[in-house]
Structure 1
């Protein structure tokens, strides 16, 4: 009955559109609104399904630990309980960041600072401190203390405790002066670091661990704006380099009302998640105020040569959220392709097409038919050879449950494994084995001695693109 009523309503709209131009225009407009709302609703459902699919894949395929707590943390851009593949992906991402910022540049130096410090950088370090809970409880049990005395003792306890870093910027500013000797006081140069920091969760006072990357660039005041543009372009190109869909990565200037204290310009590099854009890296042109504050206004020891002039440099900070970067590449790399299996059944093939450089597992080793003990020994030998060659491999041959090759391929595609190598009794006879590509599903036959060079060439080619 309801279906019939809907059909009549749609039919009446079309009829009015034909008989009256004015009413027809209004009717078409109304129809477009209904259709637009329907399209939006469908899009929302698809986005919701995509989010569920990605998160389920992350827990099923060893990227993050199971449980809603870890899913929520990762979606907020915070560190979570990573599984073996998640750790591999994050490590590869951070290694590539370090390579692009530090290893390929003579004027950028890597540093490492303390998570906690007795020295407090006012306004830069953060307001969380490490306090012994037993000492706090002891104070509250001292009933002879008045309210004012209790407050004084609590304040003294906090002052003696070490602040926990919420940013990597203070450490770089602190190490600015010692680094000047490396460059004979010449500009520009940078200090880079990566590590865990504590940051508030969704604006609350409850801290969460976040894996950050930081480049602090010291440059002449007259060129600071150009350097900000340079680093914004450089970082955006870097993020797009490893993306399956580069258009999901973009950058935009920070609006004036969003500028932080002392910042004159800002740029955000964002990824378009199904729920909206989220920042991956934020760049600030910070001037010299924080550097002077860190070193108590001692201009003479901060000055560098800018041509014939001596100047206090301006600071550009580039801060990246590596946990959110991991999440971005997981969303960006997942493809769902409809295909027909060997039994003529239609299903969706989920493939995590991570860039070869970022993929945590390059090769999965499995066994076909043949003598189990001998095949396992061959698998172990090839696994050792791949690992010694710096190629990460997954020992699928250790799986005890009987599984078809079709199911194994589906599993490895969801894991993002680039190549699946199957060793069978033919390998024992002739040394030949089968190699399947994740991206093309094409199976090639090659000699076992060629596998390492084949995978290495593929990775190197992808890296040089």
Structure 2
């Protein structure tokens, strides 16, 4: 409630300010040509807006460019959800020593009550109310800035799951509050980040080995979904960049068109933060490391999944040129997202034939695909006439894996025309086998 009230209040106070100049400046800084020139990233944010990844309002593009949480459109939300699910699967579902947790985002009822009392003061002007809310925000610091403290708080209860044996980890995903100290007046930009966090508890003698292990694992995870794996890299954190209580650190980096930025940071925090979270409970913190009893060291892994979404989008975007038989040059923009991350697996359209009968076939096939978790774009519901080239252009920019065309042959003998996004090859397939074909295709890509 506290978070909601402050968001609502700040939106009202700042609603009369346009983010357009900030967006233009950011686009110039981040490699986008504001005059529509030949810059390879020119128009990239408009493409993501046009193809339902983010809303049309400019401040969402500003937030995404800065690696902050923005509002996502249908495709952007599916992409982000798929990334979080893949992260969760790799961390929790496939590892017996990692457990998922959930912690609170705000401060609870007391903070909400204080905000409620402010809004009851009818003698305050809008400006005064906004200033009071901002002062309360600065004084109370109600939002978490990372997921680390929540995991440390749940450390003792989690010990029983491992019979007090090391190592083990606690994983969580959620929003964190990250205001920019040097950009406090930047209104229109979100101050929240979607973080994916693993807090790993291990013996002091193995903490360096675990840092190396998790650094390799995280780099491999990002590269698994990459069209250009070399754009992802790792480096050690320099001594002057170490946060409080950290003895060593590492970063997973992505090479954006405008420069290299951090996607994920890994820290060795020793036992300092754990002891701070449970003062006077040293005996309860101890675990068995072979025959020794020790207070574990903490490794903190935190990934900015919003910046990761942008990295995956940019890494997957290709402009493909092809010369036809008449020596004419054709350019195709395609978002070659990894099959497991693609927000839409199948675009379902219909060709010539009885409209009512073809629509019934499409609807039946749509439900069959949805039943097994295959996301479908119902293109057959669009009543505007479009050529096949325009449809393919649209679906390629959306990152759709397969375009399935239902036509007269489907009514006569059950045959569909299936186009592959990556190869552009069109093949005929019976309607009874399309579901298993797509499931097998995605499963094979996931296991590579």
Aligned residue pairs: how many? 407
1:340 CA drift (Å): 5.1
Residue 63, structure 1, aligned to residue 42, structure 2: no
User: For the residues of structure 2 that align with 1:42 and 1:211, how far apart are their CA atoms?
Assistant: 25
Q: Structure 1 residue aligned with 2:145, among 151, 162, 166? A: 166
Residues 215-230 of structure 1 mapped to structure 2, 5 A cutoff: 215-230=198-213
User: For the residues of structure 1 that align with 2:408 and 2:174, how far apart are their CA atoms?
Assistant: 48
1:73 equivalent in structure 2: 63
2:249 equivalent in structure 1: 266
- For residues 85-124 of structure 1, give each alpha carbon's deviation from its aligned partner in whole angstroms, at most 9, with x where no partner exists: 000000000000000011000010000000113599xxxx
Mapped contact 1:130–1:161 kept (Cα < 8 A): no
Q: Structure 2 residue aligned with 1:108, among 95, 98, 112? A: 98
User: For the residues of structure 2 that align with 1:44 and 1:372, how far apart are their CA atoms?
Assistant: 44
Residue 210, structure 1, aligned to residue 196, structure 2: no
CA distance 1:204–1:158, change in 2 (3 Å): closer
- For residues 1-43 of structure 1, give each alpha carbon's deviation from its aligned partner in whole angstroms, at most 9, with x where no partner exists: xxxxxxxxxxxxxxxxxxxxxxxxxxxxxxxxxxxxxxxx999
- For residues 349-388 of structure 1, give each alpha carbon's deviation from its aligned partner in whole angstroms, at most 9, with x where no partner exists: 1000000000010000001111101000000000100000
2:78 equivalent in structure 1: 88
Of 200-209 and 434-443, deviating more is 200-209
Mapped contact 2:199–2:298 kept (Cα < 8 A): yes
Residues 184-263 of structure 1 mapped to structure 2, 5 A cutoff: 184-201=163-180, 203-205=182-184, 208-263=191-246
Mapped contact 2:406–2:417 kept (Cα < 8 A): yes
Q: Gaps (5+ residues) in structure 2?
A: 1-30, 125-131
CA distance 1:170–1:119, change in 2 (3 Å): farther
Residues 170-181 of structure 1 mapped to structure 2, 5 A cutoff: 170-181=149-160
User: For the residues of structure 2 that align with 1:375 and 1:158, how far apart are their CA atoms?
Assistant: 57
1:141 CA drift (Å): 6.9
1:389 CA drift (Å): 1.3
2:4 equivalent in structure 1: none
1:308 CA drift (Å): 1.1
Residues 55-454 of structure 1 mapped to structure 2, 5 A cutoff: 55-117=45-107, 132=114, 135-136=117-118, 163-201=142-180, 203-205=182-184, 208-339=191-322, 346-454=329-437
The 3-state SS of whatever aligns with 1:339 is strand
User: For the residues of structure 2 that align with 1:56 and 1:342, how far apart are their CA atoms?
Assistant: 32
What is the TM-score when the length of structure 2 is the normalising length? Answer: 0.85
1:459 CA drift (Å): 0.6
User: For the residues of structure 1 that align with 2:281 and 2:109, how far apart are their CA atoms?
Assistant: 18
What is the TM-score when the length of structure 1 is the normalising length? Answer: 0.82
Mapped contact 2:33–2:39 kept (Cα < 8 A): no
1:67 CA drift (Å): 2.1
User: For the residues of structure 2 that align with 1:240 and 1:46, how far apart are their CA atoms?
Assistant: 31
User: For the residues of structure 2 that align with 1:288 and 1:119, how far apart are their CA atoms?
Assistant: 31
Say which one has the larger Rg: 1
1:46 CA drift (Å): 11
User: For the residues of structure 2 that align with 1:181 and 1:461, how far apart are their CA atoms?
Assistant: 37
Mapped contact 2:344–2:399 kept (Cα < 8 A): yes
User: For the residues of structure 1 that align with 2:119 and 2:33, how far apart are their CA atoms?
Assistant: 53
The 3-state SS of whatever aligns with 1:279 is strand
User: For the residues of structure 1 that align with 2:442 and 2:381, how far apart are their CA atoms?
Assistant: 26
Q: Gaps (5+ residues) in structure 1?
A: 1-40, 121-128, 143-152
The 3-state SS of whatever aligns with 1:230 is helix
1:6 equivalent in structure 2: none
Mapped contact 1:221–1:314 kept (Cα < 8 A): yes
CA distance 1:89–1:216, change in 2 (3 Å): same
Residue 49, structure 1, aligned to residue 32, structure 2: no
Mapped contact 2:148–2:300 kept (Cα < 8 A): yes
